[in-house]
Chains A and B, each alone.
Chain A
Amino acid sequence: MQMRAEHKESAAKGSATATRDIYIPSERVAVSGGGTPHVVAKDFSIYYGDFEAVKKVNAEILSKYVTAIIGPSGCGKSTFLRAINRMNDLIPSCHTSGILRFDGEDIYGKLTDEVLLRKKIGMVFQKPNPFPKSIFDNIAYGPRLHGMNDRKQLEEIVEKSLRKAALWDEVSDRLERNALGLSGGQQQRLCVARTLAVEPEILLLDEPTSALDPKATAKIEDLIQELRGSYTIMIVTHNMQQASRVSDYTMFFYEGVLVEYAQTAQLFTNPKDRMTEDYITGRFS
């Protein structure tokens, strides 16, 4: 199993021998200041009761790059993603073994404050889930939680976040309207903006486009490209085209095991593992 993906100054060039009908960007620009191990898993397992849903994962996720997680349904990819900001704590029977580190500190350590952790590691969910409040209040929710009450500053943050999420132009004139009135794609970008407003270091995207139409999906993908380089982004996706379009690195999970982890271009053009090849060529899904 490939554990550590070598980082090169210039990310892999798309192989000319690509025979699969997956589009792979020919060139990716390297990110300055990125590439250090941001999240590190060592023999990390996740259990639901007695069932081992994720099995002894060893991997390093590199900062400021986009890492995609692919694999068939029920392979543990979402579970792994949600373990990183401890959203799995909501499931009473869920527990872990092994080590998962963020910036060198144990995420599951005794002294970890999961509330502060989640502030640093933001998450966007499968279905857009804005609160039934105004657009402004949705974005301001996080900063307010962390003690910011100055209206002026909040306005700044809201605008900045909405701009980052490429939503500002569409909603700037109706910030006080209920967020539930937005379209699905706008709602999802609002959720991204809401997460950005607390200034996380890592963005976890759990199948963020699965509930959206192609047009809205394209916008979210563009957004991910925009954010690449500023945040460490991890995205779980069912859609292999999407993984190849947006990510620098790709992890392939199968039945809880991290089967292959490599630069995206390499994984899609020249997979080392038979299983990976079967999956990306559509022999099973």
Chain B
Amino acid sequence: MNLGTRKILDNSFTAVGMGSIVVMALALLAVLTPIVYNGVGAVFFTGTIEHRTILYKEYGRGDAKTIETQTATAERYRGEAYRMLSDFEAEMEGMPFEASSRYRSQYAQVRAAMSSLLGPLPGDPTPMLTRFQYGQTRWEKAEEKLHEILYEKKWDYSDPTVMAKAFYVPRAEAFAGTMLAPLFGYLDRHLADMMQPEFTVYWGFFTDRSLDAHIFGGIWPEIQGTFFLAIGAMLFAFPLGVIAAVYFTEYAKEGFFTSILRSANSTLAGVPSIVFGLFGLAFFINTMKVSESKSVLAGSLTLAIMILPTIIRAAEEAILSVPKTYKEASLGLGSTKWNTIATVILPAALPGIITGGIISLGRAAGETAPIIFTAAVSVGSAIGIADVFSSPTPALSWNIYNLASEHEMACEIRHVQYGMVLSLVSIVLLLNLSAILLRAKISQKLKG
């Protein structure tokens, strides 16, 4: 091969390596950007009067006076629309049956979409579920609903070789000549008047209970559940892990038995997370019966086992990185081995140990599979600290799955899902970031 080609190959090799790292960075960006962008939307958004009404009625927050005047204005504009509906209904009554049946199903769609946009229409009975008692709380959702009212979605099946394509027909055409025809133009013009949009900062998203399975309200029960589970796991795993690390670094004599123990540690680190879930169910709940069924305690214990190897490894590394001279100096002053470990080695290794602990805490907070069978429930309110031994809890990780995959209105509450994902990712990444900073500080300190 000539030198030119070799040089080109050399450079391309470098490019492949850098490319891989760039791809990783891009992947990270691709995952985080939509999560951050849409997740922020759970707190900062343009809210409608419905949002303010819910806050006032269900959570007792907000200024009654303002809400009252805004509601009055909104009702004035809505009244006009309601009047058009009732006019049209009266008109349909007067039509011959064939004529009115032409409109009937279309009109039902319009009515349904209207009540979804504005809340129950006048004359309708108050619905059972909270989700039907209010109109759209977010402006962009209100606009979507308006589009649903204005246009009918139809499918184009003309080309059998490709998938059917959707297209939209204005409903105004279908109702041309009836008393409903002006409604569409009216709604389009006065949507803002009817909904009273306002830029809203909803910090309550993090601290409010949820309403009707997260259709309204916040995610406090999930945040609290995640907190309980992760802290619980640390309470078990951290002391055990640090003591085991002390044994491995300061006491274990190399030999068959020690190598078995070390192998066990790496085996445990490699067990798939779902198998921890199975074990937690079979051992903690079905055999040990730490609780009647799922509970925070069972979940924490399961998570503790999962993060134990990480803590042991981090603590071992931290202890090994303490200069041997500290130990010599302490023993040379007539300190016992145990005293040396407690007063010199562990304090010097502490930042490193804590770094490992923080990373494990993040891992425990983010894991889903181990808690599916042991601790997590889909819908639930925040539990008290006394209930951790007996009751299951909602948790961020599990409820992200649940809301995105199993919720009956998954597509309607994307903003809640994004808000949850952002909360979880922020918790985990902030923990990791603080660990990274702590580590940087340690290495600086060791340099003197």
Contact = CB atoms under 8 A, between A and B. Distances in A.
Classify A-B as touching or not with yes or no (CB < 8 A): yes
Interface in B430-448: 445, 448
A122 B327 contact: no
B333 interface: yes
Contacts of A145: 333-335, 339, 343
Interface in A2-31: none
A267 to B, nearest CB: 28
B389 interface: no
Interface in A123-138: 123, 125, 127, 129-132
B87 interface: no
Band of interface residues on B: 20 to 34
Interface string A151-195: 000000000000000000000000000001100000000010011
A146 interface: yes
A195 B328 contact: no
Contact of B332 (A116, A123, A180): A123
Contact of B328 (A116, A120, A129, A180): A129
A137 B336 CA distance: 18
B332 A122 contact: yes
A90 B331 contact: yes
Contact of A198 (B323, B331, B333, B348): B333
Nearest to A145: B335
Interface string B321-357: 0010111111111111001000110011000000000
B83 interface: no
Contacts of B329: 125, 129-131, 191, 194
B253 interface: yes
Contact of B334 (A130, A132, A198): A198
A87 B325 CA distance: 12
Contact of B336 (A115, A127, A180, A181): A115
Interface in A97-151: 115-120, 122-123, 125, 127, 129-132, 141-142, 145-146
A181 B335 CA distance: 24
A115 B448 CA distance: 31
A119 B334 contact: yes
Contacts of A129: 323, 325-326, 328-329
Interface centre among B328, B333, B336, B343 (most CB of A within 10 A): B333
Contacts of A123: 328, 332
Contacts, number: 67
Contacts of B347: 132
Contacts of A198: 333-334
A109 B328 CA distance: 22
Contacts of A117: 334
Contact of A119 (B323, B333, B343): B333
A185 to B, nearest CB: 15
A85 B343 contact: no
Interface centre among A131, A146, A181 (most CB of B within 10 A): A131
A90 B327 contact: yes
A141 B330 contact: yes
Nearest to B324: A90
Contacts of A92: 253
Contacts of A127: 325
B253 A118 contact: no
Given A145-B339, A180-B448, A195-B333, A132 B325 contact: no
Contacts of B334: 115-120, 142, 145-146, 198
Nearest to B447: A180
Contacts of A120: 334
Given A125-B325, A131-B344, A145-B339, A87 B333 contact: no
Given A131-B344, A180-B448, A142 B328 contact: no
A118 B328 contact: no
Given A141-B343, A145-B339, A180-B448, A125 B328 contact: yes
A142 B325 contact: no
A198 B335 CA distance: 11
A181 to B, nearest CB: 8
A115 B344 CA distance: 16
A116 B335 CA distance: 8
A120 B334 CA distance: 8
A106 B359 CA distance: 50
Contacts of B335: 115, 118, 141-142, 145
Interface centre among A129, A142, A180, A194 (most CB of B within 10 A): A129
Nearest to B335: A145
Contacts of A116: 334
A231 to B, nearest CB: 15
Contacts of B445: 132
A178 to B, nearest CB: 9
Interface string B207-244: 00000000000000000000000000000000000000
Interface in A43-86: 85
B344 to A, nearest CB: 6
A85 B332 contact: yes
Contact of B333 (A90, A122, A132): A122
A116 B328 CA distance: 15
Contacts of A119: 333-334
A118 B333 contact: yes
B339 to A, nearest CB: 6
A90 B253 CA distance: 12
Contacts of B327: 90
17 contacts: A87-B332, A92-B253, A115-B335, A116-B334, A118-B331, A118-B332, A118-B333, A118-B335, A120-B334, A122-B332, A131-B330, A132-B347, A145-B334, A194-B329, A195-B332, A195-B333, A198-B333
Given A115-B335, A118-B334, 11 more contacts: A85-B332, A87-B328, A119-B334, A123-B332, A129-B325, A131-B326, A131-B330, A131-B344, A142-B333, A146-B334, A198-B334
Interface of B: 253, 323, 325-336, 339, 343-344, 347-348, 445, 448
5 shortest A-B CB distances, which residue pairs? A119-B334, A129-B325, A123-B332, A142-B333, A118-B334
